[in-house]
Chain A
Amino acid sequence: MNTTGPLLTVRDAVKHFRGGGRTVHALNGVSLSIAPGESVGLVGESGSGKTTLGRLILRLEQATSGSVEFDGHDVTTWRESRMRRLRPAVQMVFQSPYASLNPRMKIGALIEEPLKLHTTLSKDDRKKEVRALARRVALSEVLLERHVNQASGGQLQRASIARAIATRPKLLVLDEPTSSLDLSVRAEILSLLGSLKEEHGMAMLFISHDLDTVHAICDRVCVMYLGRIVETGSREAIFRAPLHPYTRTLLSAQLSADPRVTRERLPILGEPPSPLRLPPGCGYAERCPIAETACTTKAIALTAKADGDHSVACIKT
C-alpha cells in the first residue's frame, strides 16, 4: 500500500462516446490527483465532462485512453470482479436520490447492503451499525423501514450518504449531491458533509456546477471546460485571483444573495460549444474576449503559475 503518494491519480483521461455516426468528445485529456483527506471541487457547466470524469473514476465508464490509479494501483483495466474488492474504498453519492436508490428496497436495506457485501458482521451487528449510520447522518430511524417513495429528497440524500460511508471509504465522489435539493436542505446536507470530512478524513471529489457550494466545502478547485481542466488551484487562488477568462466569467455570473454585493459582470459571448466538434486550439477561444490568433491554432496545456499550486491553461495569463 502506498501511504505517502496521492490517493487518486487520473492521467490524460480521454473519453469519446460514439454512436449514430457522431462522436461526443466528453473528456479530452484530463489529469488530476487527489491526496488522502483532500477535498477537490470539480466545477463546470453542462457538457464540460465533469460527470463523465466522475463516472470514469468509479469505472462506470471505461476510458478511451489514459489511466486511473487508486492507492498506487492502475485500475484502468481491472475486471469488475477485481474492482469489487476496491469498491468499499471508493464510494459515490449521486445527484438525484430518487433515481439512485432502488425503489423496491427499504431505506434500511439500502444502507445495510454495503455492510452485507463487504463485512463479516452478523445480522444483528449490521442492524446496529445501520442505526448508528442513520444517527450519524441525522436520519430518523422510522425511515429505515420505509421505501424510497415515502421519504423526502433531503431524507433520501442522507440515506445515500449513509450508504456511501458505511464502508468508511477513502474517497467519496459526489456528483451534484445538493443541486436537486431545496435551499435549507442543501445547507443541512453540506453541513453534514463538512462534518464527515473532518471526522473521517476521507477525500472527496465534489462535482458541481455551483461555485458557492464548491467554495463552501472544497480545499482545491478544478474548473472544467469542454472536456479539459482549464484552471486548478487552491480555493483561495481560484476564488480570489482567478486567471483563466472562463473562470472569471463563471465567477462573475454567480449571483450573491446579498443585494449589496454586486460583482462586476463580465460579458458572456456566444453559445457554449458543442462537444461534437472540438476546436483545434483553446476550447474557450471563440467566446473569449481576449483571445488572439495563437489561441485558436494549437492546444494549450495546463501550466503552473509562480505561486506553485495554481495552474492555468491560457497563453494570455
Chain B
Amino acid sequence: MTDILKVRGLRTHFVSRNAVNEIRTARALNGVDLTLPAGRILGVVGETGAGKSLTVQTILGTLKAPAERVAGEIELMGQRLDTMPEAELNRHRGATIGLVVQSPVTSLDPRVRVGDQLVRLQRAHRDITRADARARAIDMLKRVGVPSPQERMKAWPHELSGGMAQRVVIAMALINDPVLLIADEPTTGLDVTVQAQILDLIRDLIAGTDRGAIIVTHDLGVVAQYCEHVAVMYSGVVVEHGPVDEVFVAPRHPYTTALLAAADLAAAATGRRPLPPSTPPNLYDLPAGCLFAPRCPKVQAVCATEPPAKPSPSGQAETRCHFA
C-alpha cells in the first residue's frame, strides 16, 4: 500500500512583537507527523486551538503572515511540497489536491454561476475544450448528488441551500481528479441528515481508489464512523495516531481517553467530570515536557521535564505519552 501523504515534524510559529517591541513567538504547531495511505480517510481530531486547521494550511502552503512554517517535511506522492516553488505548488492546489472548507460561501465566487466555476477550474489546470469541461462538470454534479445538474449549472451560488452549496464545493474539489482531498470541518453547521449525505459521498469517492482524504473535525462521531485512521491533536502535536478501531476502542493517551469520555454526554450530565477545567495551553509559554502534563490526570515527575517520544505514524497505533 502506497502512502499518499507523509508529513514529518511540522512546526508552525506565529511571530509578533509586543508593545515594547520584544519578539514573541506563539508555537502553534510543535512537530506534527501524519501519514495517509491510499484509499483511506484520515481523521484529524482535536479541540479549538489544537492546530488542526493550521496543519491543513501548512500542508497547502497557504499560511499568511505572521504564521510561518519553521520546520518539517511534506511529501505528496513522493514529491516534496515544502521545498516546491510557489508557482508549481499552485498547480497542485485545485488539481492534485482538492480542498473543502467549512463555509462553502468562502469557496464559491458569488459573481460566477456554478457551472462556469466548474468549467473554469478545469480549464485552468488542463487542456480541455469548453464542451468537454461542461460535460464533466454535469457528470460531477450528478455524482455528488445534486439533483437536476444541468439546471444547477446555471444557478448562482446564493441560490443554493447550505447542503447543496457544500456539494458544489465538493464537486469543485474533485473535478480535477485530485489524489488528495482535504476537508476542513466539511459538515460543521450542517444538519445531521445533510451531514450524513455529504460524508457518505466523500467515503464513496475515496474507498477502493488510489486517492486519499483527510477530514479535519472536532466531531468524534464523524471520525469513528467514516475514517479508517485518526490523528488526535493537542496543542500542536499529534498525541495519538493509528487505526480508528484501535485508538477509539482502547485509547492509550490520557488526552484521547478524556476526549472520548467527554463525548459520552449522558455520563457528563449525571455529574462525572471528564477533565480538569479546560484551560487552553498558552502557546507563548509551553511546558518543557509533555504539553498535556498540566491537565493530565496521570501526570508524573518525568512528564514535566521530558517531552515524550514522537509517535512513528506507521499503520499501528502510536502515542506520545511516557506511560502508554
A and B are interacting partners:
yes
**Cα-based distance from A271 to B190 in the complex (angstroms):** 12
A184-B274, A194-B268, A215-B266 given; A260·B220 CB < 8 A? no
* Chain A CB within 8 A of B163 CB: yes
A259 within 8 A of B: yes
Taking a contact as CB atoms under 8 Å apart, the answer to whether B269 and A193 are in contact is yes
Contact (Cβ within 8 A) B193 A45 = yes
Within 8 A of B (CB), among A184-232: 184-188, 190-191, 193-195, 209-213, 215-217
Residue B245 contacts which of A45, A188, A259 (CB distance < 8 angstroms)?
A259
* A254 interface residue (CB < 8 Å to B): yes
B221 at the interface (CB under 8 A from A): yes
Q: Is B197 engaged at the interface, CB distance under 8 Å to the other chain? A: yes
| Known contacts A183-B218, A191-B273; A259 and B265 CB within 8 A of each other | no
Question: Do A138 and B277 have beta carbons less than 8 Å apart?
Answer: yes
Name which of B9-17, B101-109, B120-128, B254-262 contacts chain A: B254-262
Q: Which residue of chain B has the shortest Cβ distance to A268 in the bound complex? A: B193
- Whether A254 pairs with B221 at a CB distance below 8 angstroms is yes
**Least CB separation from A181: chain B residue:** B48
Measured between beta carbons, the chain B residues less than 8 angstroms from A145 are: none
Q: Which residue of A lies closest to B162 (CB)?
A: A46
Is B161 interfacial (CB 8 A cutoff)? yes
Known: A190-B268, A191-B273, A216-B265. A183 touches B220 (CB 8 A): yes
**Contact A255/B225 with A182-B47, A183-B259, A187-B265 known, Cβ cut-off 8 Å:** yes
Interface size class of B (residues with CB under 8 A): 35 or more
User: With contacts A259-B225, A262-B225 known, what are 4 further pairs, Cβ within 8 A?
Assistant: A188-B268, A250-B192, A257-B224, A257-B248
Instruction: Count A-B pairs with CB separation below 8 Å.
Output: 129
B47 pairs with A271, CB closer than 8 A? no
Could you tell me if A46 and B191 are in contact, using CB atoms closer than 8 angstroms? yes
In the complex, chain A residues whose CB is within 8 Å of the CB of B225: 255-256, 259, 262
- B2 within 8 A of partner (CB): no
> How many residues belonging to A are interface residues under a CB distance threshold of 8 Å?
41
Q: Per a CB cutoff under 8 Å, which of B147, B191, B244, B268 touches A259? A: B244
Report yes or no: A216 in contact with B262, Cβ–Cβ below 8 A: no
Q: Does A154 contact B (CB under 8 A)?
A: yes
Contact indicator A215/B249 (Cβ below 8 Å):
no
Q: A217-B269, A258-B248, A259-B244 given as contacts; is B259 within 8 A of A184 (CB)?
A: yes
Task: Decide yes or no whether A123 CB sits under 8 A from chain B.
Answer: no
Shortest distance between the CB of B69 and any CB in chain A (Å): 26
Q: Mark B216-260, 1 if CB is under 8 A from A, else 0.
A: 001111111110000000000000000011001100000000111
Q: Does A35 belong to the interface (CB within 8 Å)?
A: no
Q: Contact at B248–A216, with CB atoms within 8 Å? A: no
Question: In whole angstroms, what is the CA distance A264 to B114 when docked?
Answer: 34
A183 touches B47 (CB 8 A): yes
Give A257 to B275 CA distance when docked, in angstroms: 18
* Identity of the chain A residue whose Cβ is nearest the Cβ of B226 in the assembled complex: A255
Q: List chain A residues, Cβ under 8 A from B163.
A: 271-272
Q: How far is the CA of A4 from the CA of B57 in the complex (A)?
A: 59
B→A interface (CB under 8 Å): 47-48, 147, 161-164, 191-197, 218-226, 244-245, 248-249, 258-266, 268-275, 277-278, 280
Note all chain A residues with C-beta closer than 8 A to B191. 45-46, 209, 272
Q: A186 to B224, Cβ gap below 8 A?
A: no
User: Which residue of the partner chain, among B47, B147, B161, contacts A184 with CB atoms under 8 Å?
Assistant: B47
Enumerate chain B residues within 8 angstroms of A256, measured Cβ to Cβ: 221, 224-225
Q: Kindly report which residue of chain A lies nearest to residue B243, judged by CB atoms.
A: A259
Enumerate chain A residues within 8 angstroms of B245, measured Cβ to Cβ.
Answer: 259-260
**Taking each of B244, B245, B273, which has the highest tally of chain A beta carbons within 10 Å of its own beta carbon?**
B273
Does residue A249 face the partner (Cβ distance < 8 Å to B)? yes
A213 vs B225: C-alpha distance when bound (angstroms): 18
Contacts of A138 in B (CB 8 A): 277
Q: Distance in Å from the Cβ of A248 to the closest Cβ of chain B?
A: 11
Among A211, A213, A253, A255, which residue has its beta carbon within 8 angstroms of that of B224? A255
Q: Which residues of B contact A255 (CB under 8 A)?
A: 195-196, 219, 221-222, 224-226
B263 adjacent to A183 (CB under 8 Å)? yes
Bound state CA distance, A268 and B259, in angstroms?
30
Q: A184-B47, A184-B258, A259-B248 are in contact. Are A194 and B270 (CB under 8 A)?
A: yes
User: A283: shortest Cβ distance to chain B, in Å?
Assistant: 14
Interface members, chain A 139-162 (any B CB < 8 Å): 152, 154
- How many Å lie between the Cα of A257 and that of B251 in the bound state? 13
Report yes or no: A183 in contact with B262, Cβ–Cβ below 8 A: yes
Complex Cα spacing A306 to B280, Å: 51
Assess whether B265 is in contact with A212, with CB atoms less than 8 Å apart: yes
Complex contacts, B224 vs chain A, CB 8 Å: 255-259
A208 to B311, CA, bound (A): 38
Q: Tell me, rounded to whole Å, the shortest Cβ–Cβ distance linking B119 to chain A.
A: 25
Known contacts A138-B277, A187-B265, A260-B249; A250/B260 CB under 8 A: no
Q: How far is the CA of A260 from the CA of B268 in the complex (A)?
A: 21
What is the bound-complex CA distance between A262 and B221, given in angstroms? 11
Q: Which residues on the B side are within 8 Å of A187 (C-beta)?
A: 261-265, 268, 274-275
> B272: which A residues are within 8 A, CB to CB?
191
Q: Which residues of B contact A212 (CB under 8 A)?
A: 265-266
In the bound complex, residues from chain A placing their C-beta under 8 Å from that of B280 are 152
- Contact partners of A316 in chain B: CB under 8 A: none
Residues on B with beta carbons closer than 8 Å to the beta carbon of A262: 225
Interface mask (A241-275 → B, CB under 8 Å = 1, otherwise 0): 00000000110011111111010010010111000
Given contacts A255-B222, A259-B244, A272-B161, contact A45 B268 (CB under 8 A): no
* A257-B270 contact given A184-B259, A216-B265, A271-B161, CB 8 Å threshold: no
